[in-house]
């Protein structure tokens, strides 16, 4: 994004609405910090700039990678998927993507609202690769991986985005390794991340992963997403 | 996206915050000739049951997902009952308090198929805004609502320059998915601005 300095009247509406606080008023003119800007386009769409000073720029590689990980209406060029994630458990009653003995994980780096540089992805993916997880092939993050060790392209590591979701699954007996890795990585990361855990619900209502989460001293939020099994092939 | 999974808040606040998402599986049941009609029918059912927010109507025909927000679990039950009766075969995901959803599903003779649990936020939590502000900003699944806009509108409310209702509408604007709960936002803005502490 860019703000035309010759048009800006310094009303500050874009400053207020920027989710990553990348816009500041300097000498009564709105200025975008290009390093902090994640190219989400929220300022352009929602600031109601009275002089139409906010403009989209044609982004070049590698900066162009910021937009699909930040702009809610942008589609990933790498995957053709809009948004930052996949169908994950939303259609599991049809796809059986997560079987009864499997546990899915969604780790969203930069959420809520802090943002991240893409290099943080490697903190997780290199460790998770050594555990032997199955990354979701349709995930935009999986499309960034360049080798079997969980590395991503060097030239995109410094690019900042609003968030990036790592999606994968493991057999239930390997979930403990993932949970232990999360605790280790938490100590070294320079941003925040959220963790979601996906499990089929057994016929008796049991959720197999709950005991392990308790053993490993993870708190489970009282609210969740529940697929109620109405989907059909 | 993980859309509504990581909404924060206390149990009492979350009792009036439910999101229903409908989706067909890509390459499987979204390829049937009547697939789009089925998704549109779900949108109509959601719209008939008093949602406080719903994905904008022009998007119903083009979006691969339909989303709506409800403040009353009874309305959620009505939706589930109707969807069960019509047997559209569309996958339905409900976000909200697990205990309430479990009860609603049981009452309508269904069972939870798959659950996506939230373990919360990790890492440098010192970078986050206050919990009260997060309760509002996390109502947008893509986190398009800035913490400073919440602070800005709280100050305008305090100075009488905007009503709480209009402030909630302004905050909702960047969230395009229909999952921001404006009614809950009004309650939270009232608390933040000291109208109801």
> Looking at beta carbons, which residues of chain B come within 8 Å of A92?
91, 113-114
A77 falls in which pLDDT band (50, 70, 90)? low
pTM for the predicted model, two decimal places? 0.95
Residues A100-125, mean pLDDT to the nearest whole number: 96
> Looking at beta carbons, which residues of chain A come within 8 Å of B86?
none
Residues A80-94, mean pLDDT to the nearest whole number: 80
Q: Which of A62, A87, A92, A90 is nearest to A77 (CA)?
A: A62
Cα separation, A126 vs A149, whole angstroms = 6
Cβ distance of B149 and A108 shorter than 8 Å:
no
- pLDDT exceeds cutoff 60 at B51: yes
Clarify whether residues B101 and B30 are in a common domain.
yes
Clarify whether residues B76 and B152 are in a common domain.
no
Cα separation, B197 vs B191, whole angstroms = 5
Clarify whether residues B19 and B98 are in a common domain.
yes
Clarify whether residues B132 and B89 are in a common domain.
no
Clarify whether residues B57 and B20 are in a common domain.
yes
Clarify whether residues B99 and B27 are in a common domain.
yes
Cβ distance of B118 and A189 shorter than 8 Å:
no
Domains in chain B, number: 2
Domain boundaries, chain A: 2-57, 72-215
Residue A25 phi/psi, 5-degree rounding, is -90, 120
DSSP string, A19-67: TT--EEEETTEEEE-TTT-----HHHHHS--TT--EE---PPTTGGGGG
pLDDT, one tens digit per residue, over A5-31 is: 999 999 999 999 999 999 999 999 999
Residue-range definition of the domain harbouring residue B68: 11-107
Clarify whether residues B135 and B100 are in a common domain.
no
Clarify whether residues B102 and B15 are in a common domain.
yes
Clarify whether residues B22 and B88 are in a common domain.
yes
Cβ distance of A203 and B111 shorter than 8 Å:
yes
pLDDT value, residue A166: 96
Residue B142 counted as domain residue: yes
Residue B55: CATH number of its domain:
3.30.70
Clarify whether residues B103 and B42 are in a common domain.
yes
Cβ distance of A92 and B113 shorter than 8 Å:
yes
Clarify whether residues B15 and B98 are in a common domain.
yes
Residue B151 counted as domain residue: yes
Query: Which CATH number is associated with domain A2-57?
Result: 3.30.70.20
Residue A201 DSSP code: P
Residue A80 touches chain B, beta carbons under 8 Å: no
Last residue of a domain, one of B107, B137, B164: B107
Clarify whether residues B22 and B86 are in a common domain.
yes
Cα separation, B58 vs B64, whole angstroms = 13
Cα separation, A117 vs B108, whole angstroms = 45
């Amino acid at each position: 994004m860019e703000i035309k300095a010759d048009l800006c009247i310094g009303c500050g509406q874009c400053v207020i609405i920027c989710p990553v606080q990348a816009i500041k008023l300097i000498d009564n003119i709105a200025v975008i910090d290009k390093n902090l800007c994640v190219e989400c386009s929220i300022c352009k769409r929602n600031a109601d700039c009275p002089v139409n000073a906010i403009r989209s720029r044609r982004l070049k590689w590698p900066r162009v990678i910021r937009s699909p990980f930040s702009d809610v209406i942008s589609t990933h060029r790498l995957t053709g998927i809009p948004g930052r994630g996949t169908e994950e458990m939303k259609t599991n009653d049809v796809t059986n993507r997560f079987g009864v003995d499997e546990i899915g994980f969604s780790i969203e780096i930069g959420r809520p609202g802090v943002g991240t540089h893409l290099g943080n992805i490697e903190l997780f993916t290199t460790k998770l690769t050594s555990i032997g997880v199955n990354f979701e092939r349709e995930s935009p993050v999986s499309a960034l991986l360049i080798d079997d060790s969980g590395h991503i392209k060097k030239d995109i590591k410094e690019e900042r985005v609003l968030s990036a979701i790592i999606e994968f699954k493991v057999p239930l007996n390997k979930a403990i390794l993932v949970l232990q890795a999360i605790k280790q990585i938490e100590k070294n990361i320079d941003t925040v991340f959220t963790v979601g855990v996906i499990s089929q619900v057994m016929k008796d209502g049991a959720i197999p992963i709950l005991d392990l989460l308790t053993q490993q001293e993870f708190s489970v939020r009282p609210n969740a997403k529940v697929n109620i099994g109405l989907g059909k092939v | 996206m993980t859309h509504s999974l990581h909404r924060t808040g206390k149990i009492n606040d979350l009792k009036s915050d439910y999101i229903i998402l409908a989706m067909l599986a890509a390459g499987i049941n979204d390829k049937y000739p009547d697939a789009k009609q089925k998704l549109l029918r779900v949108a109509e059912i959601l719209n008939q049951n008093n949602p406080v927010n719903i994905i904008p109507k022009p998007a119903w025909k083009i979006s691969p997902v339909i989303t709506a927000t409800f403040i009353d679990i009874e309305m959620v039950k009505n939706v589930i009952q109707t969807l069960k009766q019509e047997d559209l075969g569309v996958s339905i995901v409900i976000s909200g308090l697990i205990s309430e959803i479990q009860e609603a599903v049981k009452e309508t003779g269904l069972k939870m198929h798959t659950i996506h649990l939230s373990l919360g936020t990790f890492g440098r939590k010192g970078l986050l805004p206050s919990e009260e502000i997060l309760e509002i900003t996390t109502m947008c699944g893509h986190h398009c609502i800035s913490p400073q806009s919440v602070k800005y509108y709280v100050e305008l409310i305090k100075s009488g320059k905007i009503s709480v209702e209009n402030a909630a509408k302004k905050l909702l604007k960047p969230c395009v998915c229909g999952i921001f709960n404006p009614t809950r936002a009004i309650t939270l803005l009232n608390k933040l601005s000291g109208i109801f502490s």
